Amino acid sequence: MSQVYDRVALIGLGLIASSMFWAIKRAGLAGEVTGFARSAETRETAREIGLCDRVCDSAAEAVEGADLVVLCVPVGAMGAVAAEIAPVLKPGATVSDVGSVKKDVIDAVAPHLPDGVHFVPAHPLAGTEHSGPRSGFAELFENRFTLIVPVEGTDREAVERLEQFWQGMGAKTEEMDAEHHDLVLAVTSHAPHLIAYTMVGVADDLRRVTDSEVIRYSAAGFRDFTRIAASDPTMWRDVFLHNKEATLEILGRFTEELFALQRAIRTGDGDHLFDYFTRTRAIRRGIIEAGQDTDAPDFGRVKRG
Amino acid sequence: MSQVYDRVALIGLGLIASSMFWAIKRAGLAGEVTGFARSAETRETAREIGLCDRVCDSAAEAVEGADLVVLCVPVGAMGAVAAEIAPVLKPGATVSDVGSVKKDVIDAVAPHLPDGVHFVPAHPLAGTEHSGPRSGFAELFENRFTLIVPVEGTDREAVERLEQFWQGMGAKTEEMDAEHHDLVLAVTSHAPHLIAYTMVGVADDLRRVTDSEVIRYSAAGFRDFTRIAASDPTMWRDVFLHNKEATLEILGRFTEELFALQRAIRTGDGDHLFDYFTRTRAIRRGIIEAGQDTDAPDFGRVKRG
C-alpha cells in the first residue's frame, strides 16, 4: 500500500487514534503522523510507547501543515476542538472524525471550518472494552466497516481519498447520510449498549444476589452484557446525549416489545414466546453468513495470554 | 479418572446430553451409557454418529438397570418423563436433570419418584447457540460451574457421587438451594436472554433500517445480543414459563432502571449517565479476574475453520 497523505494529525489519543496510528504505519499510509491529547499524562504515555511520529503540546501545532486531520475525541468535545484548530488548517486539507454520532457532530464542527477545507465525517465500527493510548492495535479495523458520511457538496476526490485511507487500514467502507447513520447506529449499537449497562446495573443493585455470584455464574448469558457495558463512560455519555432522538425512539419500541413478552410470560402464552424466539434466531444466522462473527461452539472465545 | 457409575441413562439427546456423552467417554466415567430421544429422527442421528453406547426406543428401556438417570429434556417436559420412567427405576439409583429452572422441576419430578431412589437436581451453566444431537462436544463443561441443588433429606453419598461425576466432565460444582438458584439464574441468564431476544426483535421490526443493515453493522454491539438470542426456542419458552416469578421480578427492576436512564438522556443529565457507566465497568473487571472470560482486545474471538 502506498502513501495516501503526506501528513496526518490525530487529535485525541485513545483506543481509535492509537489503533489508527499502528495501522497507518503498518501500511505506510502517511509520511508523518502527528498527535495531540489534552491530558499531559496521555501525551507522556504516547511519547513513551512511540505512539505518533511527533507528539505535540497543542492541537494547533499538531494540525499545522497536515493534509488530513482526524478528530478522535468524545463526541461532545468535537465542536470546541474544531474551533481551536480552524485558524491553522492548511488550505485544501481534509478534516474528518471518528465519532459514533454524525448529525450533531456535523452541526458542531462544520460551522468552524474555513472555505477550502474538506469536511468528511467518518465512523469506524470497531472497538473493544479497553480505552486509552495503550489500548490500540493495528488489526482493530480489519474486516470491519467504516461508515463515511459526506456532507452535501463535499469534494468527491477528498471523499474517495479518505475511503482509500480507511481501506488501507483494513476497513470496508460504505457511504451513508448522517440521519440514517444515527438511526442505524441507535439500533445496532447505542440502544444495545444502554440496555447492557442497565442490566449490569440491576445485577449490582440486587441485594439478595451478591456481586460475587453474578460474576461466578456470568457465563450463563450475562457475560455478553458486561462485555459491552465495560466501554468508555465518557464516550458513551456523549453518544447518548448527542444521539438523543434516535436512541429514545428505539428504546421506546424496545420497552413496548419487552412489555408484550413480559405479559406473555405472566399469562403463560408459550406460543407467543416460541414464535418470537424462532424469528430472532434467523437474524443470528444472517450475521454469521455475513462474516461479522463466527459460530465456533464456545462462542469463538479461546483463552489467550 | 475412574468409573463413577456402572450405567448412565441420558433422556433427551440435545446439546447438553450429547456433550455429556462425549465428556463421560473421554474420562471413562461410566461403564455403559444408554440414550433415548422422543424424536425418531434424533435417535437415528444418534446411532449414525455413535452418540451413546446404546440408543433405545423407549425411555423405560434406556433407564432399566441404570445407576444414574439424567433428564436432559426441556423444563416443561420433565414431569411427564419422570412419570414414565418411575416404574422401572432401579432401587438405589440416582435421578438428576440439567434444567435451567429448579423449583418447578423439583415440584414436577419429585412426586413421581419411588422411595429408595435419590433425586439430585443439577444445572450445568454451559451452552452454545447450537442445539440437537450433533452439537455436543466433550469440552463444553470445562471450567464452567454445575450447580447441584439437593432437595431436603437427600442422601449425601448420592450428592457427592454426582458432584464427582460432573467434576470428571471438567465442571466446577457448587451446591445451592432451589429458590436461590432460580433468582441467581434470573439475573445472570433468564432476564439477559429475554432482553436480547427483545432487542433483536425490535431491530427486525424496524422498517426504516433493513435487516441487511442490522446484520452488516452488528459488530458495533448488537452482535453480542444476537449470540444469546439464537438459543433453542423450546428450551427458552419453558424456562420463562417455569421461572416466571423471579424473571418478572428482575425484568420489573430492569425497566425501572432503564426508564431512569432514558430520563437522564432526555433531560441531558450527563453526570447521571457517566456515574452509572463507571460503576458497571467494575463488574466486567471482576468477571475477567474470576476467570470466566478473557480480556483479549478482539473480545477473545478468533476466526476458526
**ipTM of this complex:** 0.86
High-pLDDT (> 70) share of chain A, %: 95
Residue B301 has pLDDT above 60, yes or no: no
Give the per-residue pLDDT at B296: 54
Residue A206 has pLDDT above 90, yes or no: no
Identify the band that residue A296 occupies on the pLDDT scale cut at 50, 70 and 90: low
Residue A234 has pLDDT above 50, yes or no: yes
* Residue A280 in grid coordinates: 430472532
DSSP symbols for chain A:
---SEEEEEEES-SHHHHHHHHHHHHHT-EEEEEEE-SSHHHHHHHHHHT-SSEE-SSHHHHHTT-SEEEE-S-GGGHHHHHHHHGGGPPTT-EEEE--S--HHHHHHHGGGSPTT-EE--EEE----S--STTS--TTTTTT-EEEE-PPTT--HHHHHHHHHHHHHTT-EEEE--HHHHHHHHIIIIIHHHHHHHHHHHHHHH-TTS-HHHHHHTGGGTHHHHHHHTTS-HHHHHHHHHHSHHHHHHHHHHHHHHHHHHHHHHHHT-HHHHHHHHHHHHHHHHHHHHTTSS---TTTTB----
High-pLDDT (> 90) share of chain A, %: 76
- Minimum mean pLDDT range among A50-64, B205-219, B283-297: B283-297
Burial class (CB in 10 A: 0-12, 13-18, 19+), A116: exposed
CA distance A114 to chain B (A): 30
Average pLDDT over residues B263-271: 96
Rounded Cα distance between B227 and A285, Å, is: 9
Portions of chain A given CATH number 1.10.3660.10: 180-289
For residues B82, B86, B90, B91, the Cα torsion angle rounded to the nearest 10 degrees is 110
A210 at B interface, C-beta within 8 A: no
Contact (Cβ atoms closer than 8 angstroms) between residue B88 and residue B117: no
Give the per-residue pLDDT at A304: 31
Identify the band that residue A294 occupies on the pLDDT scale cut at 50, 70 and 90: low
Give the per-residue pLDDT at A226: 83
CA distance A98 to chain B (A): 13
Average pLDDT over residues B186-209: 88
Identify the band that residue A289 occupies on the pLDDT scale cut at 50, 70 and 90: confident
Q: How many residues does chain A have?
A: 305
Residue A302 has pLDDT above 70, yes or no: no
Give the per-residue pLDDT at B190: 94
Rounded Cα distance between B92 and B115, Å, is: 9
Give the per-residue pLDDT at B302: 35
Residue A299 has pLDDT above 50, yes or no: no
Residue B284 has pLDDT above 90, yes or no: no
Q: What SS3 state is found at B43?
A: helix
**Among candidates A125, A209, A278 on the partner chain, residue whose Cβ is nearest the Cβ of B217:** A125
- pLDDT single digits (tens) B30-56: 999 999 999 999 999 999 999 999 999
Give the per-residue pLDDT at A204: 82
Contact (Cβ atoms closer than 8 angstroms) between residue A181 and residue B208: no
Cβ-based contacts of B241 with chain A (< 8 Å): 265, 268, 270, 273
* Residue A94 in grid coordinates: 481534509
Give the per-residue pLDDT at B294: 64
Describe the strand order of the beta sheet including B54-55 as a list of residue ranges. Answer: B54-55, B30-36, B5-11, B68-71, B94-97, B118-119
Portions of chain B given CATH number 3.40.50.720: 5-176
* Surface of A (232-251) touching B: CB under 8 A: 233-234, 236-238, 240-241, 244, 247-248, 250-251
B184 at A interface, C-beta within 8 A: yes
Give the per-residue pLDDT at B144: 93
Of A284, A199, A228, nearest to B226 by C-alpha is A284
- More reliable by pLDDT, B148 or B202: B148
Q: What SS3 state is found at B3?
A: coil
Give the per-residue pLDDT at A295: 62
Q: Which of B213, B217, B235, B274 to mutate to test the interface with A (most CBs of A within 10 A)?
A: B217
Give the per-residue pLDDT at B265: 97
Average pLDDT over residues A157-174: 98
Q: Which residue has the cell 465519532?
A: A99
Give the per-residue pLDDT at A287: 75
Helices A233-242 and A191-205: crossing angle, nearest 10°? 120
Residue B219 has pLDDT above 80, yes or no: no
Residue B211 has pLDDT above 80, yes or no: no
CA distance B95 to chain A (A): 24
Of B246, B248, B242, B92, nearest to B180 by C-alpha is B246
The 3-class secondary structure across A125-137, one letter per residue, is: CCCCCCCCCCCCC
- Of the CA atoms within 13 Å of residue A166, those in its CB half-sphere come to 29
Q: Do B279 and A196 touch (CB under 8 A)?
A: no
CATH T-level assignment (fold) for domain B180-289: 6-phosphogluconate dehydrogenase C-terminal fold (1.10.3660)
DSSP symbols for B148-214:
E-PPTT--HHHHHHHHHHHHHTT-EEEE--HHHHHHHHIIIIIHHHHHHHHHHHHHHH-TTS-HHHH
Please tell me the class of the B5-176 domain: alpha beta
* Surface of A (253-282) touching B: CB under 8 A: 253-255, 257-259, 261-262, 265-266, 268, 270, 273-274, 276-281
Average pLDDT over residues A284-289: 77
Q: Do A283 and B204 touch (CB under 8 A)?
A: yes
Mean pLDDT of the residues in chain A: 91
Residue A95 has pLDDT above 90, yes or no: yes
Give the per-residue pLDDT at B289: 76
Residue B303 has pLDDT above 80, yes or no: no
Task: Specify the DSSP class assigned to residue B301.
Answer: B
- More reliable by pLDDT, B3 or B221: B3
Mean pLDDT of the residues in chain B: 91
- More reliable by pLDDT, B288 or A139: A139
Rounded Cα distance between B231 and A134, Å, is: 36
For residues A262, A268, A270, A271, the Cα torsion angle rounded to the nearest 10 degrees is -90
Average pLDDT over residues A12-28: 98
